[in-house]
Amino acid sequence: MSSITPDQVLAALSRHIGADRGVGIRQLTREVLGAPGEGGDERAVRHAIQELRERGHHVCAHPSTGYHLAATDEELNRTCLYLTERAMCSLRQVAAMKKVSLPDLKGQLRLPT
C-alpha cells in the first residue's frame, strides 16, 4: 500500500470540478498514484477525502456522479444533504439496536440542536 496524502488527492480532484466531471474511487486512486491501486489504496484515498472535508474543502461525492470538487453551491448542498441522510440512517440503526428513540439517543450523545 502506498502512502497517500490529502494534498495528492486534492491535486487529483482539482481536475474534477463539477458533478459532470466526477470520477469513481478506482479511477481517482489511479490518478493519485499514477498506477492502479492495490491493497488498501482506495481506503487511503477515502480517508484523505474525509480529512480534506474536515479541513473545509468542498469535496463532493454521490454514487451517481463520483468524487469531484463542488462547482456550485447546489452541488455542495446536495453532498451535504447526502452525508446528513447517511448519518441519520446510521443513528436510526443505533437507536433501534439500543431500543431507544432517536431523540433519546440524541440526548445520550449530547448532539447540538
Residues 57 and 82 in one domain: no
The answer to whether the pTM exceeds 0.75 is: yes
pLDDT at residue 33, rounded to an integer: 96
- Do 21 and 66 fall within a single domain? yes
The pLDDT tens digits for 59-108 are 999 999 999 999 999 999 999 999 999 999 999 999 999 998 888 877 76
Q: Over the stretch 8-60, which tens digit does the pLDDT of each residue have?
A: 999 999 999 999 999 999 999 999 999 989 889 999 999 999 999 999 999 99
Residues 45 and 82 in one domain: no
Q: How many structural domains are present in the chain?
A: 2
Please check whether residues 59 and 106 belong to one and the same domain.
no
Residue 68 confidence (pLDDT): 98
User: Tens digit of pLDDT for each residue in 38-49?
Assistant: 889 999 999 999
What does the pLDDT read at residue 102?
83
DSSP conformation letters of 17-77: BSGGG-B-HHHHHHHHHTS---TTHHHHHHHHHHHHHHTT--EEEETTTEEEE-SSHHHHH
User: Does 35 share its domain with 58?
Assistant: yes
Domain hosting residue 87, numbered range? 72-113
In this structure, what CATH number is given to the domain that contains residue 53?
1.10.10
